[in-house]
Amino acid sequence: MNDAFQALSDPTRREILRMLRQREMTAGEIAEQFPLAKSTLSGHFRTLKHAGLIVAEKTGTTIVYSLNLSIVEETVATMMEIFDFGALKKRAVPTPRST
């Protein structure tokens, strides 16, 4: 889980995850969206893969990335538990006043 949190700490990696939420994409399609060197993006892909947040499938010379939904869901559930979102939501609901 620490690897997932580390991966999410970078805005570029969060944007890559947002893009992959829509559909799977090739490394080239993702690279077109960033003004970064391919080596820099490769480092981001490596971090996301190491955290288990994305899956890479190589077909010939093309790498296609997709979200690993089970790990993403586990990470979100852990965040909700850490910050007790259920309790926050309950406290945020205003109580009606009796007159």
Helix or strand (DSSP H, E) at 14:
helix 11-22
pTM exceeds 0.85 for this model? no
Q: Which is nearest to 49 in space by CA: 78, 81, 20, 82?
A: 20
Phi, psi of 9 (to 5 degrees): -75, -15
Per-residue pLDDT reduced to its tens digit, 6-52: 999 999 999 999 999 999 999 999 999 999 998 999 999 999 999 99
pLDDT of residue 72: 82
**pLDDT reading at 90 higher than 80:** no
The first and second tokens of residue 28, run together, are 């080239």
**Does CATH place domain 2-92 in 1.10.3720.10?**
no
Contact present, 47 and 5 (Cβ < 8 Å)? no
pLDDT of residue 84: 83
Which pLDDT band holds residue 93 (cuts at 50, 70, 90)? low
Could you tell me the residue ranges of all domains in the chain?
2-92
